[in-house]
Amino acid sequence: MSYLDIMFFKKSKNNKIDINNLPNHIAIIMDGNGRWAKKRGLPRSAGHKAGAKTLEKITRYAGNLGIRNLTVYAFSTENWKRPQQEVDALMELLGEYLDNYKKLIGDDNIRIRIIGTKVGLSDEILDKINVVESATAKNDGLTLYIALNYGGREELVNSVKKIAKKICDGELIVDEIDEGVVSDNLYTTGCPEPDLLIRVSGERRLSNFLMWQSAYSELWFDDVNWPDFSTKDLNRAIADYQKRNRRFGGV
């Protein structure tokens, strides 16, 4: 065995994943589309297009692997600050994705849910969301949560408002508010918390993504830009996750 063979063997052995111990929920911050495009002298919209292709590939792979929940950060409440041309390109891409999700993901059994505030989204996008959510509601394979117009702080404010309204309406009393009540009023209600949260492109922050839900998520950072993220990279993240000792504050 050559040195290279040994290194390859070691690497693949370390990246081997235990199919019986998969994270139930993986969340991904799909970052670096702009840098990917810049490196190639392309417009930022080309980076997002390439990122959408990576999303198709990773969704299909995760579903086949047996991952039950996948949440991806597609557009944050702060992303409206980007140049109008880029916002339009992202919305167009999302619209195309929602129109063609079956062909793109290649799996009839994926359930799609959109999380985030509806405020600011066009009627056209809202209609497409309704169609896709209803059409996939009964599917019982992987659930793909697309965080669209999503911000963790906005989500918490929204949850507080909903709870306050329930109190005003006499449906709830203040002493009944606990972590479960807050969770139940988030956009992710009914969705398990992420076990593994991945951020690519070398950045190491949460950027307002699933802040309540990721309190005990295992974090994995990768330097690769999202359009270049491969199924091997996902395997590496899962393999590392499987080596971790999750204590949730216990011993």
Q: Provide the annotated active-site residues.
A: 31, 79
Q: Per rule CB under 6 A, is residue 71 in the interface with ligand FPP?
A: no
Residue with tokens 């956009």: 187
Q: How far is the CB of 90 from ligand FPP (least distance, A)?
A: 6
| Residue 79 interacting with ligand FPP (CB under 6 A) | yes
Q: Does 55 bind ligand FPP (CB under 6 A)?
A: yes
Which residue stretch of 11-19, 44-52, 181-189, 209-217 sits at the interface with ligand FPP (rule: CB under 6 A)? 44-52
| Both structure tokens of 53 | 């292709």
**Is position 94 an interface residue for ligand FPP (rule: CB under 6 A)?**
yes
Instruction: State the minimum distance, in angstroms, from the CB of residue 149 to ligand FPP.
Output: 12
- Strand-pair partners of 148: 75
Instruction: Please give the backbone phi and psi of residue 184, each rounded to the nearest 5 degrees, phi first.
Output: -65, -15
| Residue found under tokens 């390439």 | 50
The partner residues of 145 in beta bridges, in order of sequence, read 71, 113
| Region from 24-32, 130-138, 213-221, 237-245 binding ligand FPP, contact rule CB under 6 A | 24-32
**Integer Cα distance of 172 and 119 in angstroms:** 26
Burial track 152-191 (b if 16+ CB lie within 10 A, e otherwise):
bebbeebbeeebeebeeeeebeeeebeeeeebebbbbeeb
Q: Are 154 and 117 in contact (CB under 8 A)?
A: yes
Closest CA to 101 of 89, 64, 109: 109
Is residue 89 within the footprint of ligand FPP (CB under 6 A)?
Answer: no
Does 28 bind ligand FPP (CB under 6 A)? Our answer is: no
CA gap 154, 132 in Å, rounded? 24
Q: Out of 23, 27, 28, 31, point to the residue binding ligand FPP (CB under 6 A).
A: 31
- 195 counts as binding ligand FPP under rule CB under 6 A: no
Inter-residue long-range contacts of 164-168, CB under 8 Å, 24+ positions, other chains counted:
none
- Residue 26 binding ligand FPP, by CB under 6 A: no
70 part of the interface to ligand FPP, by CB under 6 A:
no
Nearer to ligand FPP, 39 or 161 (CB): 39
Residue 79 phi/psi, 5-degree rounding, is -70, -10
From the CB of 77, what's the least distance to ligand FPP, in Å? 12
Based on CB atoms, which residue is closest to ligand FPP, 98 or 163?
98
Closer Cβ to ligand FPP, 34 or 194, answer by number: 34
> What is the enclosing helix (H) or strand (E) of 115?
strand 111-115
Measured from the CB atom, is 146 or 163 closer to ligand FPP? 146
> Residues interacting with ligand FPP, by CB under 6 A?
30-35, 48, 51-52, 55, 74, 79, 93-94, 97, 146, 201, 226
